[in-house]
Amino acid sequence: MTDLLLGLVPSWGPVLLFLATFLSCLALPAPASLLMLAAGAFAAGGDLLLSTCILGAFSGAVLGDQVGFQIGRYARDAVWRLAKDRSAKALLERAQDYAARRGRLGVFLSRWLFSPLGPYVNFIGGATGMGWLAFTTAGVLGEMVWVTVYVGTGYGFADRFEQMAELAGSFSGAVSAGLVALILGAILLRLARRHRKG
Amino acid sequence: MTALKILWHRHRLLSLAFLAALTLTCVFAVRGLLLMPLFGAPPPDPPIEGWMTPRLVAHGWHLPPEVLGAALGIEPGSAKGRTLEQIARDQGRTVEELAASIEEAALMHRALKGMPPLPPPPSPDFVPAPPPEPAPAPPAPEKTDP
């Protein structure tokens, strides 16, 4: 399956990248990082143009983010309807407050550094009523970093881009899981303190 | 200790999620560290696969594209974006056969690389110079009678 996809990269590069990044920004399974690295490698060999690959991947990612954000917005009313009791409503309000204050940084970093979390941040951004302009600016900047780093790495390490894909997967997996562990750890710590007091 | 117990009993799901995230972090980190030597010296010729293009192989093997073109019997520039699998199908050969040709051509190219370039082939109106006259024999050393 992977070999079949890789074989399509030299002839369908930019289109394939567009589809892959679009789907991966919606949490659908698509090997976007591997394909971006492969496209960079084929560009280094001279089969593809670096600029069209970056453009294809970038536009797919930005469009995917927008769709994810809109889905979140549609889900917003449903989420509020689900929150019937006062504590659930307070939690949602706190989330909204947090998204308004820190949302931009979260969106920017979840494009490239914590990329496995990206799609969920899109949905949450839309569902917590984050401003469209703030979301889009941070998203566009973040996707620029993501696409350039991956396609550029493929270009620079064309002779070992498959191993680079594994390395990138491990790295983003480690930092993303690490961030989730950190957040959950902080929540548990707060709960433990509350129990001690109560 | 009691705090941990309370968390484990009252927030089982959250605690499990935390442990899972922590385990995943460690697994990914170890896997990433094991792959770090990739940044070191470039690997030897990467294995040839059917999804690769002649240009990608040429790039990875540090060969001029003409060497690959000659080995695969394709015109320079005609196979842009075509994979070895497609070329093999067109030529009624297998990818393994193409890979063998590439390996042979690479071996030849590298063996020749250290040598000075060959002289250009003679033009049609080239008249070879007459062979030089044999040099006169050096005068015999004078005999000195004792």
Considering only residues B42 and B37, tell me which one the structure prediction assigns the higher pLDDT.
B37
- Show the 3-state SS of A8-66: HHHHHHHHHHHHHHHHHCCCCCCCHHHHHHHHHHHHHHCCCCHHHHHHHHHHHHHHHHH
In total, chain B counts a number of residues equal to 146
Sort out which chain A residues have CB atoms less than 8 A from B59's CB and list them: 41, 44-46, 158-159
Which two three-digit tokens encode residue A92? 């949602």
What is the domain count for chain A? 1
Q: What is the pLDDT of residues A91-126, one digit of tens each?
A: 778 878 887 888 899 999 999 999 889 999 999 899
Q: What is the pLDDT of residues B82-139, one digit of tens each?
A: 899 999 998 899 999 999 999 988 888 888 876 555 555 556 565 656 666 666 666 6
Residue A133 predicted with pLDDT over 90: yes
What separation in angstroms does the CA of B23 have from each of A35, A84, A180, B30, B39?
Answer: 28, 35, 11, 11, 26
Q: What is the pLDDT of residues B41-95, one digit of tens each?
A: 666 788 899 999 999 998 888 888 888 888 888 876 677 788 999 999 988 999 9
Which residue among A177, A191, A195 sits closest to B24, beta carbon to beta carbon? A177
Contact (CB<8Å) A167/B11? no
Please, what is the average pLDDT of chain B? 80
Give me the mean pLDDT over the A58-62 stretch. 97
Would you tell me how many other CB atoms lie within 10 Å of the CB of residue B108?
Answer: 13
Sort out which chain B residues have CB atoms less than 8 A from A157's CB and list them: 38
Closest of A107, A99, A183 to residue A145, by C-alpha: A107
Q: Which residue out of B26, B56, B57, B59 would a mutagenesis test of the A interface target, given it has the greatest number of A Cβ atoms within 10 Å?
A: B56
**DSSP-assigned letters across all residues of A117-156:** GHHHHHHHHHHTT--HHHHHHHHHHHHHHHHHHHHHHHHH
Contact (CB<8Å) A195/B24? no
Under the banding of pLDDT at 50, 70 and 90, the label for residue B143 is: low
Considering only residues B129 and A155, tell me which one the structure prediction assigns the higher pLDDT.
A155
Sort out which chain B residues have CB atoms less than 8 A from A3's CB and list them: 49-51
Where do the structural domains in chain B lie, given as residue ranges? 2-39, 54-112
Q: Which residue out of B6, B12, B25 would a mutagenesis test of the A interface target, given it has the greatest number of A Cβ atoms within 10 Å?
A: B25
Give the span between the Cα atoms of A74 and A64, in whole angstroms: 16
Under the banding of pLDDT at 50, 70 and 90, the label for residue B146 is: very low
Considering only residues A30 and A100, tell me which one the structure prediction assigns the higher pLDDT.
A30
Considering only residues A68 and B3, tell me which one the structure prediction assigns the higher pLDDT.
A68
Distance from CA of A131 to the nearest CA of B (A): 30
Question: Does the beta carbon of B94 lie under 8 angstroms from any beta carbon of chain A?
Answer: no
Q: What is the pLDDT of residues A158-190, one digit of tens each?
A: 888 888 899 999 999 999 999 999 999 998 888
Distance from CA of A132 to the nearest CA of B (A): 31
Size of interface A-B (CB pairs under 8 A): 116
Domain that holds residue A126: 2-197
ipTM over 0.85: no
Which residue among B3, B31, B38 sits closest to A195, beta carbon to beta carbon? B3
